[in-house]
Amino acid sequence: MADIPDNLRGRLPDAAFREVAPRYLEEPRGRWHGSARAVLAPATAEETALIVTACAGAGVPIVPYAGGTGLVGGQIAALDPAPVLLSVERMTGVMKVDPDGHTMTVAAGAILEDIHAAAAGHGLIFPLTLASQGSARIGGLLATNAGGVNVIRYGNARDLCLGVEAVMADGTILHGLKGLRKDNTGYDLRHLLIGSEGTLGIITGAVLRLFPKPESEAAAFMAVADPEDALKLLRLAQARVGEGLSAFELIGRAGLDFMDETGTAYRDPFSDRPDWICLVDLGVSGGRDAADALEGLFAEAWKAGLVTDGVISQSVGQRADFWALRERIPEANRKIGSVSSHDISVPVAALPEFIARAPAEIAAVGDFRINCFGHMGDGNLHYNVFPRPGRRPADHEDARGPIKRAVHDLVDSLGGSVSAEHGIGRLKVADLERYGDPAKLAAMRAIKSALDPANILNPGAVLRS
C-alpha cells in the first residue's frame, strides 16, 4: 500500500490517521470496491487544507468520504495511484443553532439525524428527510444535493443551504458561512459546489435553513385507480393546502406484494389491495388540524371520483407507521434483488405517460417484474426491475444494460433526467455523456479544469478522467 505524502506526518493529530477499514472501500449495493493508500480524517477546514495541499503537491488523488451511503459510487474508487480517502467523520465540532435567524451552522461530518435533533431542541426543523439519515453526513448530502421525501415542500439539499465552507483544489479555504438570505455578490459558488460530488472542492461546513415545525401533522394513504388520478389528486391537494403539503408519494401495489413475498413486516392499510396508493403528508399551523384537512381533501377527492379508498392517521404513532411502510419498500427490494434500478425524473405532468409506456419497453428486453414507487410530487420515481419468482438477478446479468438503456431512453424522450436525486458518481458517467447537453458538458469540463487543473479531487466521478 502506497504511503501518504511524507510532509503530512507530524502535521496532523494522530486521530486524523484512521485504519483503512473495509467499510471505507465498499458501498451499499456492493457493486463497487475502492482502494486507499490511507484514510485521513481532518477535524477542521485547516486540516483539510493541509491534506489537499500535500496531496496536490505529491500528485495523489483524493476521494472525499462522508456517510458512505451514496448509491452511485461517488465515494469509492479503485484508482492508480491509490487515493487518499478523506473522511469528514471527525468534522463534528460545530453545531450552532441561531433560533432567531432560523439557521444552523454545522461541520461537514454532522449526521442528518443529529441535525434533526439539534433543530428540534429549538422547536424548529431541518426538513431534509431520507432513509439513510441515521448515517448520512451533511457534507455528503450537500456534495450530492440529496433529495428525499419533503422536496415538494422544502426543496433539495441545495435549497436548504445558505452557504458553504469548502477547501478548493489549491488548498485555499472558501469562507461562505455568512448565512444570509440575500447576497448578490458575484457567482454563486455555493450552488456550484453543491451537487459537484467533491470534484470541485471539499465541503467542510455549511449554514442550513431551519423552519418552524408545523403545529399539526398527519398522513393519509389514498387509493387511486391509476397515475392520472394520482396526478389530479396531487393538484387538488396543492390547491387546497398549498405549502402545507409536505410529501406526496406514489406506491405501486408491487411495493406491498414484495413485502409479503419477503416477509417484511408492515401494517397493511387496505383490506382490498389497490393498484396504486398515494401517501399524502400534511403539516399545518395557525390552529388548523392536519387530519381534518386530510379528511376534507379526501371527501372532495371522493366526490370527484379520484379516490377509491383511504385511511388517515389519527396519531403520531400511526403517521409513523404509514411512513415506516413507505421506507421499508427498499428493504423488500433488496431481499428480492433487482436486475436494474433507476432513479429517474420527468416533468411531473409526464409521469403518467412514463408509467404507462415503460413496461412495454422492458417487456421487449425480457420477462420481468416492476416495482414503481417514489416522490410523485417531484416527478421522481424509483423505477426498479426484478426477476420473476424463482429466478435470480444473476440469471439476468446480460439484461441489465438493455433494460437501463430502454428506461433511460424513454426518460430522455420525455425530457426527463437519468439521475433525479442520487447524482452521477461513477455509475452514471457514461449516461451523462450520452444524455447530457453538449454545451453543458463542455462547460462542466472547462470549470473542472479551471478549478482542479491537476484533477486531484475525486477523479473519475461525474466527469471521465
Q: Which of residues 285-314 bind a second copy (CB under 8 A)?
A: 285-288, 293, 296
Taking CB under 8 A as the binding criterion, the range among 24-32, 359-367, 385-393, 419-427 that sits at the site for a second copy is: 419-427
Q: Binding to a second copy by residue 69, rule CB under 8 A? A: no
Helix, strand, coil percentages, rounded to 5, for the chain? 40, 20, 40
Residue closer to a second copy, measured from CB, 379 or 387: 379
Q: What minimum distance in Å lies between the beta carbon of 254 and a second copy?
A: 22
Find, among 71, 73, 15, 17, the residue nearest to 40 by Cα. Answer: 17
Q: What minimum distance in Å lies between the beta carbon of 189 and a second copy?
A: 6
Could you please report the per-residue DSSP string of 39-69? EE--SSHHHHHHHHHHHHHHT--EEEESSS-
- Structural Rg of the chain based on CA atoms: 23
Q: Binding to a second copy by residue 125, rule CB under 8 A? A: no
Between residue 13 and residue 52, which ones bind a second copy under the rule CB under 8 A? none
Residue closer to a second copy, measured from CB, 4 or 358: 358
Q: Binding to a second copy by residue 122, rule CB under 8 A? A: no
Binder among 10, 187, 271, 390 for a second copy (CB under 8 A): 187
Q: What are phi and psi of 62, to 5 degrees?
A: -120, 130
Between residue 241 and residue 280, which ones bind a second copy under the rule CB under 8 A? 241-244
Taking the C-alpha atoms of residue 319 and residue 137, their distance in angstroms, rounded to an integer, is 26
Q: Binding to a second copy by residue 214, rule CB under 8 A? A: yes
Residue 404 makes CB contacts below 8 A (sequence gap 6+) with 340, 342
Residue closer to a second copy, measured from CB, 314 or 449: 449
Could you please report the per-residue DSSP string of 196-210? STTSSEEEEEEEEE-
Find, among 12, 19, 11, 54, the residue nearest to 36 by Cα. Answer: 19
Taking CB under 8 A as the binding criterion, the range among 334-342, 365-373, 394-402, 449-457 that sits at the site for a second copy is: 449-457
Whether the ω angle into residue 81 lies within 30 degrees of 0, i.e. cis, is yes
Give the contact letters, 131-170, x = binds to a second copy (CB under 8 A), - = no: -------------xx-x---xx--xx-xx--------x-x
Binder among 120, 320, 364, 443 for a second copy (CB under 8 A): 443
Binder among 18, 116, 240, 391 for a second copy (CB under 8 A): 240
Q: Binding to a second copy by residue 361, rule CB under 8 A? A: no
Q: Binding to a second copy by residue 189, rule CB under 8 A? A: yes
Residue closer to a second copy, measured from CB, 61 or 176: 176
Between residue 370 and residue 399, which ones bind a second copy under the rule CB under 8 A? 375, 377-380
Find, among 438, 437, 435, 462, the residue nearest to 448 by Cα. Answer: 462
Binder among 422, 457, 458, 460 for a second copy (CB under 8 A): 422
C-alpha to C-alpha distances, 134 to 110, 111, 213, 441, nearest whole angstrom = 11, 7, 20, 34
Residue closer to a second copy, measured from CB, 89 or 431: 431
Under rule CB under 8 A, how many of the chain's residues touch a second copy?
A: 99
Q: Binding to a second copy by residue 91, rule CB under 8 A? A: no
What cell does 279 get? 401517501
Neighbour tally for 92: CB within 10 Å: 17
SS3 26: strand
Q: Binding to a second copy by residue 179, rule CB under 8 A? A: yes
CA quadruple 162, 209, 148, 240: dihedral sign: negative
Binder among 48, 103, 204, 264 for a second copy (CB under 8 A): 103
Q: What minimum distance in Å lies between the beta carbon of 69 and a second copy?
A: 15
Taking the C-alpha atoms of residue 97 and residue 100, their distance in angstroms, rounded to an integer, is 9
Binder among 133, 341, 371, 417 for a second copy (CB under 8 A): 417
Binder among 112, 115, 277, 451 for a second copy (CB under 8 A): 451
Determine the Cα angle at 361 with ends 359 and 365, to 5°: 105
